[in-house]
Every structure is written in structure tokens, then in C-alpha cells.
Amino acid sequence: MVTPRRDSGSTTPAQTNPKAQSRLATQSNLIEGLIGQLERGSAIAEAKLVGLSLDRTTATGEKLRSQIFDDLARSAANGSPYSMELLLRFVVEQQLAQPSIAKVVSSPTMIEDIQQEVLVSISDSIHRFRGDSKFTTWLYTLARNVSVSYLRRQRPTSELPEGGVEQVDGIRRMSSLVVERDALRDAIAELPAKYRDTVVMRDIQGLSYAEIAERQGLEISTIRTRLSRGRSMLAIKLP
């Protein structure tokens, strides 16, 4: 279940207006109830949470939207797969990580690649989220670290000279790659079908997100979420 939220101590118009404060408390309790239903796999609760998360026109709407993210993150940290999937969906559809990534890189291609790595990192790290800060604050730091790590990996490496120890090391690396390839194939085969198909189409067949979405009859955002979950499952299975 979702753990109690910490009160930031800030005062908003809703908190100084009794009627507005009452409405906010009612909606806040509604969100907590919906998260509880979501943890039991309720598709109706998921749809209602999605609708509530889209209200960005008022201060109250933004506050409730932030609560949804925070409560989902705590629920996911406690092991709810339904909360985890919806949280990743929000990160993708509402581009929650993009502002942080865009401060480190500007290439659209790099941003897209990093976003996928961020989704995997969220899946791997969410158990560390305890609600001491807002989820968006936690995500900002995570996305920045992933972006910096990505850039470091893009630095060119110098070529090794031919022959000698380097040649032996090359043979060893090739042997290791064969073992890794077989392990990867076995791990992919063990994935649930919806994740396996998406991973195969994207990472093995090299199809674009749009092509995968068309083949599966799904939204691109759903494809991104499934790909992230599939890659995260693979990371756990592989040595």
C-alpha cells in the first residue's frame, strides 16, 4: 500500500480557502483509493488516474498530478507491477525526464536513446525511492546521471595494435560474445510474449517504434513502455 506523504509545509491558495481545501482533501483521498485499486490490477482505476494526471490548468490540478506521481512511485517501490507500468507510461507520455536530459544533450537521437535508458534505470532503481523528495525531483537526478553516463560511453576509444596480447584478447572477447549471444537468446525466449515481441522487433529486427506500433496495433508510448520493461527484465536475467 502507499505510505503517507510528507507535508512540505508550503501554503497554497487551496490551503487558505476552506472549501478549496476540502475539495483538495477529497480528491487527494480519491487518488489514494485509486492507487490501492490499481495495486489490485483495476483497469478502471488506471484510466481515472490517467485522466486526473492531465489537469495542468490549475494549481490544484498540478498538486494532484504531483501526488499521483509520488504515490505511484511509492507503490512501485513497494513492488506493485501495475503501479510500475503506469509510472513508466507517465514518464513517456508526459515527457517527465526530457527537460533533465535536454540540459545535458541536444541531439534528438541521443535524447530518444537516453530516454529509453532512463526507463530501464527507473525500473532498476525504483525500490530506492522512499518519498523523501518528489518523484520528479528524484527522476531529475536519475535522468541527469544517466545522460552523463551515456555521453561518457560515446567517447571514441583508440584502436588496439594488431597481434600479440591484443589478438589473444580479441579471440577471448569473440568467444565471450558467442556465450553472451546464446544467453541473450535464452533470456529473450523466457520473456512474457508482449515484452518479448517488442524487444525482438526493436533490438533484433531493428524496426522503428512506428513500425512496431502499427504491427501490434498499439500507441507508440505503449511500445516504449513495453520495450523498457522487456529490457529491464533482460538485465535481471542476464549475468
CA count, 13 A, side-chain hemisphere, 139: 26
Which pLDDT score, from 0 to 100, does residue 180 have?
56
Q: Which residues contact 70 (CB under 8 A, 6 or more apart)?
A: 5, 131, 134, 135
Burial of 53 (0-12, 13-18, 19+ CB in 10 A): buried
Coil, strand or helix: which one is 56?
A: coil
CA distance 127 to 88: 14
What confidence tens digit (pLDDT) does each residue in 133-160 have?
999 999 999 999 999 888 887 765 434 3
Q: Does domain 173-237 have CATH number 1.10.10.10?
A: yes
SS3 content of the chain, % helix, strand, coil (to 5): 75, 0, 25
Top pLDDT among 122 and 163 is at: 122
Overall average pLDDT of the 84-104 stretch: 90
Top pLDDT among 173 and 181 is at: 181
Which pLDDT score, from 0 to 100, does residue 239 have?
59
Q: Are 169 and 180 in contact (CB under 8 A)?
A: no
What confidence tens digit (pLDDT) does each residue in 204-226 have?
777 888 889 899 998 888 888 88
Burial of 12 (0-12, 13-18, 19+ CB in 10 A): middle
Looking at 129-163, list the stretches that DSSP marks H as alpha helix, in order from N- to C-terminal side: 135-153
Choose the most confident range, by mean pLDDT, from 62-66, 134-138, 162-166: 134-138
CA distance 22 to 222: 36
Block residue for cell numbers 529491464: 232
Q: Are 228 and 126 in contact (CB under 8 A)?
A: no
CA distance 162 to 165: 9
Spans of all domains in the chain: 15-94, 95-153, 173-237
Overall average pLDDT of the 50-72 stretch: 88
| Chain Cα centroid distance, residue 224 | 9
Q: Are 194 and 226 in contact (CB under 8 A)?
A: yes
Among 58-62, 63-67, 80-84, the range scoring the smallest mean pLDDT is: 58-62
